Structure 1
């Protein structure tokens, strides 16, 4: 029987739910209680909708990652998790466990890399994964075995949708972001090129490496900028590329979903 792993980007889901409850309830304790209840309901709706054989919620550790080690400005300026919510996460994880859903978090890896590793491992075994997140960084993982689902918009993203939306196949996205950067993560890329310029360059030269290998053309200022900032672009590509080979220490069977009574 074919397996389907439902991978929930837990903090992506929980922080959006909490942001709403925090605005609606002056009592933080009440906001946290409703957030927990709403998040559990969301997971149950996701299971009802997707009928997965296996489920996992992946949490960030909130500790500096390998990306911080090579680029100190990584995610600089991003709004930190509210302290009350951070202190409450263990209670939320316990509530998830009570409805039959395991949580995964480590002190050394980012949730995005763990999610990428899980989905890639499933795909290599010809098994399906559905990543529940609003994070566009996961677009680079899309293939016939991997889908992304936005719980809040009730919408799916696959390879075709990305191609229509961004005019690039998913395999070129990390090259694109290496040039444009990702402002939400404080990753700079190459100044003065922009999205339209990056798109044009990749259409002309196919890949980031193709840009670096091309002869100098003084008339093409965008090309010159990327070639003259090769180190910055290569660093950005390293930062935006998800790791997919993290040792997990468990197997798929450990994530099998069994409905609780």
Structure 2
């Protein structure tokens, strides 16, 4: 059987679970314990559903990344991880390890870039990869071998599904976000164009590069992007996921179950 890697965006999963448990349990320790149990149960369900040959949980390091060097306000205003949950993460990671699942975290890299690197290395070998996350930023990674699974909606997404849903090709996604920005990360893009405007421009001109190089003078939205070229290019640079991080381990180290 060919290898398949299940990559779990761990903080995306855990924080959503904790938000529910925190509301249901007034006692913080009960909420944390319930989060641990619920997260482990979620992993068991995913393992049964996807039957991967390899699996890994990727965690954020919660430190400033290379993106902060390009944009000081990157992720400004985003709600930080609750201190009690952050302190409890090693226990959750230990619980995952007891299930035979490794956790990946580095001090200098964002989880999104680690996930992108893992997915790229696997699909480069024409092997299957499933990313478990609700983060739309991973849409740019979709291809014939990579799919996304939204655990909370039990929704499988491939490149054809997203292209039909959004009216964009996968290779246009970072151009689109370069124009629209991503408000949740405080990446502004080009103000005044909007989602519909960005979509219309890319459907007509195909790429941000073509938009910037166009000599058309009658399209106000196009001219606005050209006038704010630096903002668009910076936004695109920020949303593009890195695929070349040195990981320091091989796919065989992530085999499940351990042999």
Indicate the residue corresponding to 1:8 in structure 2: 8
Q: 1:38 to 1:259 in 2, by over 3 A?
A: farther
Secondary structure, counterpart of 2:126 in structure 1: coil
Shift of residue 191 of structure 1?
0.5
Shift of residue 216 of structure 1?
4.5
Native 8 Å contact 1:99 1:259 kept in 2:
no
Indicate the residue corresponding to 1:18 in structure 2: 18
Q: Which residues of structure 2 form unaligned runs of 5+?
A: none
Verify: 1:106 aligned to 2:106, yes or no.
yes
Aligned ranges for residues 145-160 of structure 1 at < 5 Å? Answer: 145-160=145-160
**Misfit runs of 4+, over 6 Å:** none
Q: Write the distance in 2 (CA, Å) between the matches of 1:257 and 1:216.
A: 55
Residue by residue over 1:176-198, the C-alpha shift from the partner in whole angstroms, topping out at 9 and shown as x without a partner, is 00000011111100000001111
Indicate the residue corresponding to 2:170 in structure 1: 170
Shift of residue 117 of structure 1?
0.4
Indicate the residue corresponding to 1:29 in structure 2: 29
Residue by residue over 1:44-68, the C-alpha shift from the partner in whole angstroms, topping out at 9 and shown as x without a partner, is 1100110000000000000000001
Equivalenced residue count is 259
Indicate the residue corresponding to 2:92 in structure 1: 92
Secondary structure, counterpart of 1:56 in structure 2: strand
Secondary structure, counterpart of 1:19 in structure 2: helix
Indicate the residue corresponding to 1:227 in structure 2: 226
Normalising by structure 2, report the TM-score: 0.98
Q: Which residues of structure 1 form unaligned runs of 5+?
A: none
Secondary structure, counterpart of 1:84 in structure 2: helix
Shift of residue 200 of structure 1?
1.0
Shift of residue 259 of structure 1?
6.4
Indicate the residue corresponding to 1:249 in structure 2: 248
Q: Write the distance in 2 (CA, Å) between the matches of 1:142 and 1:202.
A: 19
Indicate the residue corresponding to 1:115 in structure 2: 115
Shift of residue 163 of structure 1?
1.2
RMSD (CA atoms)? 1.0
Q: Write the distance in 1 (CA, Å) between the matches of 2:106 and 2:199.
A: 36
Q: Write the distance in 2 (CA, Å) between the matches of 1:156 and 1:232.
A: 33
Q: Write the distance in 1 (CA, Å) between the matches of 2:184 and 2:166.
A: 18
Q: Write the distance in 2 (CA, Å) between the matches of 1:89 and 1:173.
A: 32
Indicate the residue corresponding to 2:182 in structure 1: 182
